[in-house]
């Protein structure tokens, strides 16, 4: 759709709170008015909720080289259907995204596709081998927004320390997969009562905590040691991906209270599923880090509520159906979830647990944007019109065969959810529309 759009009867909610009902006039990529106006296209929100578009700081879109699992078109289309206007893609592809040429090519292709906006993350080290740092400045100039060796752990503390220093000098956040490789060993699920009973190799929660503890000391060295960095207030230097344990959360809470520039995210699977789901021996529940205990879930929910956890990162990780149908030892880690993340957490947290809606929205919008240096999008005149209209009332089950993602399976298949996006706008341009009356 082109030209101005009038969205009537929309209930406005963003990370600051609820703002009543309004008629939004959108044009030239921005919100022109909250009091209506004339437009060639008129959409009736019919009481649905209008929010800023979601921002995913952690997704695997598999391009280049792994397009059989996902590609930019399918992944960014899936993101738009999930209410996401912005996605950070991980660099563990074939080849690894460790050069400015690859970063530019990804951004140019995503722009031509015209769905959710792409913000590539680039590898912290060349080839993600953990030895030689990538060119932070050149990657930043090409459009990278983050440096990470996600999919691999950074074993050399000295390389990580130097990487933090270089990245910070060019305004880049460093994101880490926090697991101690020696403690993790070959674990395919959480090490505990369930893994012992099933006879499967376990991945202890202490592997995450041990690596977080080490990385926090590296941050302390970088900001308090000789030649300490001077950072802008409130800026994060190191970001811990897909937090999964109560102990890891405690360490990060203590670090934040001590003023260390660190941040973290949590994925929807670590908030809604536990290791007991592996009783079925179904690799659809095999993720890295693994699903933990209910006690870990409860702790993460509290951390999300009190702000220790800064944002929601989907860790959308599609694989082929054949790969995920292998046995627990051979199947790859990861699940697709970018199309269900919002309705899942709205249903499970807001509707069932009374989690404050504005707080959850903040973790989907302002939280990740702040970490990566993007300005917040709030529902007021002049704001960028990258928005999502979603229904708090309409119920429907998760039906993986309808996914835009190439990965048409889900651990939440059949779960009946509310909050499904009906309309997604990127700078005033409709990138997804389900059922909105014109």
SS3 content of the chain, % helix, strand, coil (to 5): 35, 25, 45
Beta-carbon-side half-sphere exposure of residue 329 (alpha carbons within 13 Å): 4
Nearest CA to 22 out of 360, 380, 358, 359 is that of 380
The residues near 162 (Cβ < 8 Å, ≥ 6 apart) are: 133
Residue 408 structure tokens: 């048409």
Residue 73 structure tokens: 């078109």
Active-site residue among 98, 150, 180, 315?
Answer: 315
Dihedral angle computed from the Cα positions of residues 344, 144, 239 and 268, in that order, rounded to the nearest 10 degrees: 10
Beta-carbon-side half-sphere exposure of residue 407 (alpha carbons within 13 Å): 32
Q: Which residue has the tokens 């929010």?
A: 51
Q: Is 315 part of the annotated catalytic residue set?
A: yes
**What distance in Å separates the CA atoms of residue 176 and residue 242, rounded to the nearest whole number?**
9
Residue 273 structure tokens: 């599923």
Alpha helix ranges (H) inside 131-262: 136-142, 157-169, 181-184, 193-198, 205-224, 246-257
Pairing of strands 146-148, 30-33: unpaired
**What distance in Å separates the CA atoms of residue 127 and residue 263, rounded to the nearest whole number?**
25
Active-site residues: which are they? 315
């Amino acid at each position: 759709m082109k030209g101005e759009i009038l969205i009537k009867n929309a209930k406005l909610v963003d990370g600051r709170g609820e703002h009543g009902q309004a008629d939004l006039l959108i044009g030239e990529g921005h919100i022109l008015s909250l009091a209506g106006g004339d437009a060639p296209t008129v959409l009736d929100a019919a009481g649905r909720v209008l929010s800023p578009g979601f921002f995913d700081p952690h997704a695997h879109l598999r391009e280049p080289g792994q397009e059989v699992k996902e590609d930019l078109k399918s992944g960014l289309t899936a993101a738009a259907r999930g209410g996401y206007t912005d996605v950070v893609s991980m660099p563990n592809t074939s080849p690894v995204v460790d050069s400015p040429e690859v970063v530019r090519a990804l951004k140019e292709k995503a722009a031509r596709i015209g769905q959710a906006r792409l913000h590539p993350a680039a590898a912290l080290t060349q080839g993600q081998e953990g030895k030689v740092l990538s060119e932070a400045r050149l990657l930043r100039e090409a459009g990278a927004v983050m440096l990470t060796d996600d999919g691999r752990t950074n074993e050399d503390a000295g390389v990580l320390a130097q990487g933090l220093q270089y990245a910070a000098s060019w305004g880049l956040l460093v994101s880490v997969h926090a697991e101690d490789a020696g403690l993790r060993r070959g674990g395919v699920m959480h090490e505990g009562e369930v893994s012992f009973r099933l006879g499967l190799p376990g991945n202890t929660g202490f592997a995450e905590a041990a690596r977080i503890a080490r990385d926090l000391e590296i941050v302390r060295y970088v900001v308090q040691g000789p030649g300490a960095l001077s950072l802008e207030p409130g800026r994060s230097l190191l970001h811990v991906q897909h937090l999964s344990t109560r102990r890891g959360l405690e360490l990060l809470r203590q670090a934040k209270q001590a003023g260390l520039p660190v941040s973290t995210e949590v994925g929807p699977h670590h908030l809604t599923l536990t290791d007991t789901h592996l009783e079925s021996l179904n690799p659809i529940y095999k993720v890295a880090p693994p699903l933990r205990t209910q006690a870990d879930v409860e702790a993460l929910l509290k951390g999300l509520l009190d702000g220790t956890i800064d944002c929601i990162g989907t860790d959308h990780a599609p694989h082929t159906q054949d790969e995920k149908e292998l046995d627990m030892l051979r199947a790859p880690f990861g699940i697709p979830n970018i199309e269900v993340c919002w309705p899942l957490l709205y249903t499970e947290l807001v509707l069932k647990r009374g989690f404050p809606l504005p707080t959850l929205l903040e973790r989907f919008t302002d939280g990740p944007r702040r970490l990566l240096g993007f300005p917040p999008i709030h529902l007021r005149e002049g704001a960028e019109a990258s928005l999502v209209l979603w229904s708090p009332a309409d119920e429907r089950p998760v039906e993986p065969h309808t996914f835009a993602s190439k990965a048409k399976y889900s651990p939440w298949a059949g779960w009946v959810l509310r909050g499904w996006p009906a309309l997604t706008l990127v700078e005033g341009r409709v990138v997804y529309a389900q059922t909105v009356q014109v």
